Amino acid sequence: MKKHICFLLITALLCSSLSGCVSTAVGDDDFVPKGGEMLMEGEEPEDLSLQDEELQSLSLTYFPNRSMNPLIGNNITNRVLFSLIYQGLFSVDRNNNPVPILCSYYQATSDNRNYTIYIETGARFSDGSPLTVADVLATYEAAKNSDYYGGRFTYIDSVVQGENNSVVFHLTTAYENLALLLDIPIVKVGHTADDYPLGTGPYSFQTTNTGARLQKVTDWWCSAKLPTNAETITLTEATSQAQVRDEFEFDELGLAISNPMSDSYAEYRCDYELWEVDSGLFLYVGVNALWSEFFKDGKNDELRKALTYAIDRDTIIDSYYRGRAYASTLPVSPNSPYYSESLASRYTYDPLRFVSAIQNMYIPKNTKGEPKKFLLLVNCDDSARLRTARYIAKQLTELGLETGTLEYGASTGTTYEQVLRDIVDRDWADSHRDIAPLCKAEDAVELDTGALTFDESLRLLLDTIRRRAGL
């Protein structure tokens, strides 16, 4: 009987009060072309060649109703395909080390605030056109404004064209591990918003009268060992995991992706092999230090640190992730050489320490003088994340910090991205219209009326006017 291949993704769980993380798509390190090693100023480059083990598969699934643009799409199944179509300046290997791909070599200034990335001169897109600096700049400009990659630009001030086929990253602060953030898939300039932009990977996405497929690129620029020898990989459209399971059982798929938070693979009534692969995905509790009233203007810095003491990571992994995750105190995989055991040991689960740390914390109040609730924003379409957020909220409330969840997702009728996009678009249109644009005056006074009735809002407005006018 034919054996099928089923991947079970292992999730790295990060529950931390830090505000950033590094993540890579599954399969980004499955094929690694010639690249370069880290160079400091004045050093000469040397070529570095690495190859990975082969993966055989001839038929895969994808979700056509979810974006196939690597700068936008966040569907796990589709992102596996992205690793066959696109490449980044770097990849991240299984040991969480950066590996140059579309970068031939790179240099950093001694203060680690300026990086010069030299583009691989032989790299070409699937249509045969050469990779240029313009492609890299356009990709990073689009990535900077994307929901999926935007967080990586926190400390990147600008990305500009350099000399000798290079791009230069100027940082606002020293950061020695910038390469770990630069595995962003590069797409061709002028197509960063397309549904199916061109990439430099070994396969290209194509549609025919019979459906979609990945077609092997003729004379692929890279000498790396391919993850499969298949000339054509058939793509089957999927609308649900149940459909994927049925097609898998009837030999229409050679590989299926199983949710690591479930035992759904056990429902497959066929012969298969089960592979467990570390996905490199991070789940974390981030602190909105710029906008949240709890942390704005430097307030409650001790609370931000203390949150690491209040989260029982081991219970979360056992209860909501079926033990298929790693507990991490830092925004780095525990398997990474950058993971500091000594630093992590300072922020282990210690609820009593949390209670002590929040004794004198600042609690913002609404216009009625009532304390505001600490809120966790969570996508309720991900059941594991939702359960985790609710558990953390319950933990924090029991420890003295009243906490709730703010839930969004398709099941609520809209998505976070849609809400945010609508707000941004509306504000921009209102502030840029020709007639009476809505712009905040320099002496304007902001009033929070979110929790007030109309009459209460009116009284607040009148009282504010009287005070400002000296009446």
The domain spans of the chain are 4-10+19-281, 287-408, 443-471
- For residues 250-255, give the mean pLDDT: 68
Distance CA 218, CA 16 (A): 45
pLDDT for 200 equals 96
CB atoms within 10 A of CB 228: 21
State the residue for tokens 């009625």: 368
Query: 45 or 137: which carries more pLDDT confidence?
Result: 137
pLDDT for 35 equals 39
Six token digits for residue 200: 């430099």
R_g over Cα of the chain: 25
pLDDT for 400 equals 92
Please list, in sequence order, all residues whose beta carbon lies within 8 angstroms of the beta carbon of residue 308, skipping any fewer than 6 positions away: 15, 16, 17, 329, 347
Distance CA 71, CA 366 (A): 38
Beta strand spans in 188-307 (E): 203-208, 211-216, 232-237, 255-258, 272-283
pLDDT tens string 86-129: 999 999 887 778 899 999 999 999 999 999 999 999 999 999 99
Q: How far apart are the first and last CA of the chain?
A: 89
State the residue for tokens 């644009």: 437
- CATH superfamily, domain at 287-408: Dipeptide-binding Protein; Domain 3 (3.10.105.10)
**Top-level class of domain 4-10+19-281:** alpha beta
Does residue 43 surpass a pLDDT of 80? no
Distance CA 424, CA 112 (A): 34
Question: Binning pLDDT at 50, 70 and 90, where does residue 399 land?
Answer: very high
Query: 277 or 293: which carries more pLDDT confidence?
Result: 293
Query: Are the CB atoms for 152 and 84 separated by under 8 Å?
Result: no
Three-state secondary-structure class, residue 44 = coil
In the chain, % helix, strand, coil (3-state, to 5) comes to: 30, 25, 50
Q: Is the dihedral of CA 350, 353, 355, 360 positive or negative?
A: negative
Query: 210 or 216: which carries more pLDDT confidence?
Result: 216
State the residue for tokens 């990975």: 52
For 42-155, where are the alpha helices, taking DSSP H only? 76-85, 133-144
Does residue 433 surpass a pLDDT of 80? no
pTM for the model stands at: 0.64
Question: Binning pLDDT at 50, 70 and 90, where does residue 453 land?
Answer: low
Q: Do domains 4-10+19-281 and 287-408 have the same CATH topology?
A: no
pLDDT for 302 equals 83
Residues forming a β-bridge with 62:
237
In 3D space, the residue among 110, 226, 119, 227 whose CA is nearest the CA of residue 176 turns out to be 110
Distance CA 234, CA 255 (A): 11
State the residue for tokens 């974390």: 284
Query: 236 or 76: which carries more pLDDT confidence?
Result: 236
Cα distances (angstroms) measured from residue 107 to each of 43, 92, 114, 260, 328: 8, 18, 8, 38, 31
